[in-house]
Amino acid sequence: MRDAWGLNERLFAAWYPCVMGLSERAGGAAIRHELLTGAAGRTLEIGAGNGYNLPHYSAAVTELVVSEPSPYMVEHLRKRLEATPPPVGSWDLVQTGAEALPFDDTSFDTVVAAYVHCTIPDPAAALREIHRVLRDGGRYLFLEHVRDRSLFGSLQDLVEVPHAYVAAGCHPNRRTEDLLDASPLTVERLEHGTLPMGFPTVRPTIRGVAVRTAS
Ligand SMILES: C[S@@+](CC[C@H](N)C(=O)[O-])C[C@H]1O[C@@H](n2cnc3c(N)ncnc32)[C@H](O)[C@@H]1O
């Protein structure tokens, strides 16, 4: 949900790094680190935000393509990439949304997304694109906050509209596990958890690995 002037997107890019920073220091960084030990080869990150994943990539990543649609977040990303380059073979920054990725079919070994599917306007299209750009056997590493399956999910439904405005289109009640099941990817591992120090409506999370199986 973007307002006519992109004001909420601009404000989100200003406050998100501070709020998420609290979570990072409370254990969020360790969760990202564990997930990203699985990143290898030519790797694409979608919706990279201000770049909290960047320090967790290793030299097993030969080429890292960092993507993000918001011009305000791209500013943060460029500064961070230039000041503290990730320890990978090489990196590139591309301004794009995930529903129409400007990359060739089967051109990546790994795709990464953290807390992104909540915000993508058409998350099913994004999953089809992730499947398209992964090679056979390529891995999609995901970490997402999701709608809770208990009664608490109804509260997440209730706050969806104001939440999406304040957080630049982030829906606290996305059923990302169902979206993954309906996508062409095959979920190999999925764990439920919580976002450290997360606001209650964004606390339930899933993380894991999905693969593109040979067709
Ligand atoms: C909650 S932030 C997460 C940022 C970062 N991935 C992290 O882990 O901190 C959601 C991000 O998704 C981005 N986003 C919004 N629409 C998108 C789209 N269509 N495709 C990809 N990313 C999108 C936003 O600009 C924002 O940077």
Amino acid identity, position 162: P
pLDDT digits 0-9 by tens, 95-150: 999 999 999 999 999 999 999 999 999 999 999 999 999 999 999 999 999 999 99
Inter-CA distances, 82 with 32, 76, 88, 113, Å: 21, 10, 13, 21
Q: What are the angstrom distances between the C-alpha of 23 and each of 52, 129, 170, 191, 199?
A: 11, 29, 17, 19, 10
For residue range 16-39, list pLDDT tens digits in order. 999 999 999 999 999 999 999 999
DSSP state of 106: T
- pLDDT (0 to 100) of residue 5: 57
Distance of CA 12 from the midpoint of ligand 1 (Å): 11
Across 10-14, 57-61, 79-83, 208-212, least confident range: 10-14
Q: Please tell me the distance between residue 214's alpha carbon and the centre of ligand 1 in angstroms.
A: 29
Residue whose Cα lies nearest atom 24 of ligand 1: it is 47
In sequence order, the 6+-apart residues with CB closer than 8 A to the CB of 25 are: none
Rounded to 10°, the helix 7-23/71-83 angle is 40
Q: Are 43 and 35 spatial neighbours (Cβ–Cβ below 8 Å)? A: no
Q: Which residue's alpha carbon is nearest to atom 26 within ligand 1?
A: 49
Q: What is the pLDDT of residues 140-195, one digit of tens each?
A: 999 999 999 999 999 999 999 999 989 999 999 999 999 999 999 999 999 999 99
User: What is the value of pTM for the model shown?
Assistant: 0.96
| Domains of the chain, first to last | 7-211 (3.40.50.150)
Residue with tokens 């909540």: 118
Other beta carbons less than 10 A from residue 10's beta carbon? 15
